[in-house]
Amino acid sequence: MLLTSQKRQGATTFLMPLIAYGLPLFFIVAPFAGFLFYSFFWVEGGVMHYDLTLLNYLRFFVDAIFLPVMLKTCLLCLGVAVLTVVFGYPVAFLLASLRGRLRYALLILVLVPLLMSYVIKIYAIRNILGGNGLLNKALLWLGMIDEPLKFFVFNLNAVLLALTVLLIPFAVLPIFLSLERIPRNLLEASVDLGASRLQTFFRIILPMSLPGVISALTFVFVLAIGDFLTPQMVGGQSGFTFGRIIYSQFGTAFNWPFGAALSAILALLVIPVIALGARFNRKRGSA
């Protein structure tokens, strides 16, 4: 009986690390490594060549198109991250200030859009912002404009607004969790010492919620910069982003090695952003 128990314990000791480390290696690291290796092949005249080369990476820096589009996409996604935090922070603050079941009931309502189809949400935004959409009809009815606006349709402005609306829940949640962890006795002590609500917010609440803000900025930036579907559906010709370039290499151009190289470059950009966000939160946590 004792021997059987020891065997089971030994098997568990062996299997748990194997599952914990083996599954991520098999499903994440191995495909990514294969994808990275694929980026060193090259295509010419529709024919795949399996000679290892750095031409795909060199093309990214030499061609006058790709680097400016990447910089423009980074600025766009940074704007999306900032806007989601600006609009999401008040929502998270309101939720965190509530008590009881109402707080989590409203939080669930905020997160419900995440359960909806991504494509359906994009079509809904297009119907609101389009030339014959709800926004233009309302402005025409109010007499504020004489003809439908095209400022928020099929351009980078439309991509910015659509991504902001779609990704706000991803900013609300980490900020809410950060606000929820602030000890109530600190806020009560601040009030007892004569601090106003604004002083309490700027000296206690905002500094202590910065880890959630940084997590929200990082999370939204990473999600936005990897999105190709939203720019494809609402961006039009003038709303071209780096994600659409990668999508075109795998789709219309059928140049998978170059698409893999662009994806690897994008990953090399995203990983430091995640690392910086994690390092900031570690420093705040230790402080």
Q: Residue 34 falls within a domain, yes or no?
A: no
Q: Residue 41 falls within a domain, yes or no?
A: no
Q: Is the pLDDT of residue 8 over 80?
A: no
Confidence of residue 3 (pLDDT cuts 50, 70, 90): very low
Predicted local confidence at residue 14, as pLDDT:
65
Predicted local confidence at residue 221, as pLDDT:
96
Confidence of residue 7 (pLDDT cuts 50, 70, 90): low
Q: What is the CATH number of the domain that holds 144?
A: 1.10.3720.10
Confidence of residue 164 (pLDDT cuts 50, 70, 90): very high
Domain boundaries, position 180: 51-286
**What integer is the mean pLDDT of 219-242?**
90
Predicted local confidence at residue 2, as pLDDT:
44
- pTM for the complete prediction? 0.88
Residue 239 DSSP SS3: coil
Contacts of 246 (CB under 8 A, 6+ apart): 228, 259, 262, 263, 266
**What integer is the mean pLDDT of 13-42?**
83
Q: Tokens 């079509």 appear where?
A: 123
Residue pLDDT, tens place only, 119-157: 899 988 888 888 788 888 888 888 888 888 877 788 899
Residue pLDDT, tens place only, 216-227: 999 999 999 999
Predicted local confidence at residue 16, as pLDDT:
77
Q: Residue 177 falls within a domain, yes or no?
A: yes
Q: Residue 16 falls within a domain, yes or no?
A: no
Q: Quickly count helices (H) and strands (E) in the chain.
A: 14, 2
Predicted local confidence at residue 286, as pLDDT:
55
Confidence of residue 5 (pLDDT cuts 50, 70, 90): low
**Contact by Cβ (8 Å): 56, 40:** yes
Alpha helix (H) residue ranges in 112-228: 118-129, 134-141, 156-180, 184-192, 197-200, 206-225
The tokens describing 214, both together, are 């940084």
Between the alpha carbon of residue 251 and those of residues 223, 274, 282, the distances in Å are 21, 28, 40
Cα 48 to Cα 191: distance, rounded to the nearest angstrom: 69
Q: Residue 216 falls within a domain, yes or no?
A: yes
Q: Residue 267 falls within a domain, yes or no?
A: yes
Q: Residue 12 falls within a domain, yes or no?
A: no
Confidence of residue 44 (pLDDT cuts 50, 70, 90): confident
Specify the number of domains making up the chain.
Answer: 1
Q: Is the pLDDT of residue 89 over 90?
A: yes
Q: Residue 2 falls within a domain, yes or no?
A: no
Predicted local confidence at residue 71, as pLDDT:
95
